Amino acid sequence: MTHLSDWVLLMMDKLGLFGVALMMFLENVFPPIPSELIMPAAGFAAAMGRMELWLVIAAGTAGSVIGALPLYYLGTLLDEQRLFALMDKYGKYLLLTRDDIIKAQSWFDRYGNSVIFFGRMIPAIRSLISIPAGMARMPMLPFLLLTTLGSAIWSALLAYAGFVLGANYQKVADYIAPISSAVGWIVGVALLFIILIRLKKFLKN
């Protein structure tokens, strides 16, 4: 993690805000690159006066949104069988398996378009959720809107945490993990509640 942290800071030092956007783009295309390290490091850089915090958040959001598009379009081009075959062959290079795709797909099937927003704050889901959205031919405008909103909140949370923690920004991942899990539970409970209400109305009719 230390070597990766040094690389992230080096990228920001050399490329500035473009480096933040580029790394968040890569984080979406190659999920093993953690946003929990990228954005807190950018927040730390802002705390040191090297970048403006709001510009850091904007750059991180832009990189995330642009990075969601390749996986969305991948979903539109491949059916499930071809996607799994591709993952079995090349997924090891990205530290991904077909189970990761199945998990993202099950979330989308269960919660629909809303998971594009909430999923941006849930590990192992936020990047890959774009694939089932593409497979379902989700309209581009709501996809971009929900992706932007979710990514902006996530980027702001991580960057501000790094801004506050300063040199201890690497600890953000330890603090964020429970929050991400809580988001997942809250989304699940909320949607279950909505389903029960609709089912109750249906039975009354």
pLDDT at 32 (0 to 100): 59
pLDDT at 179 (0 to 100): 46
Q: At 139, give phi and psi (nearest 5°).
A: -55, 140
| Proportion of the chain above pLDDT 90, given as a percent | 17
pLDDT at 187 (0 to 100): 46
pLDDT at 185 (0 to 100): 47
For every residue of 85-121, DSSP letters joined together read: HHHHHHGGGGT--HHHHHHHHHHHHHHTTHHHHHGGG
Q: Structure pTM?
A: 0.74
Q: Which residue has the higher pLDDT, 14 or 22?
A: 22
Is it the case that residue 152 has pLDDT exceeding 90?
Answer: yes
Its domain, for residue 127, covers 2-204
Mean pLDDT, residues 52-68 taken together: 93
- The structural domain count of the chain equals 1
Residues in the chain, how many?
A: 205
The 10s digit of each residue's pLDDT in 172-189 is: 555 444 444 444 444 444
What is the chain's mean pLDDT, rounded? Answer: 76
Is it the case that residue 191 has pLDDT exceeding 70?
Answer: no
**Range in 7-16, 87-96, 125-134 the model is least confident about:** 87-96
| 139: helix, strand or coil | coil
pLDDT at 156 (0 to 100): 92
Mean pLDDT, residues 10-26 taken together: 85
pLDDT at 87 (0 to 100): 76
The 10s digit of each residue's pLDDT in 68-109 is: 998 899 888 877 778 777 777 776 666 667 777 777 887 787
Q: Which residue has the higher pLDDT, 21 or 189?
A: 21
CA neighbor of 146 nearest in space, from 121, 180, 174:
121
Compute the C-alpha angle 161/163/167, nearest 5°: 100
pLDDT at 199 (0 to 100): 56
pLDDT at 46 (0 to 100): 85
Give the count of alpha carbons within 13 A of 135, CB side only: 21
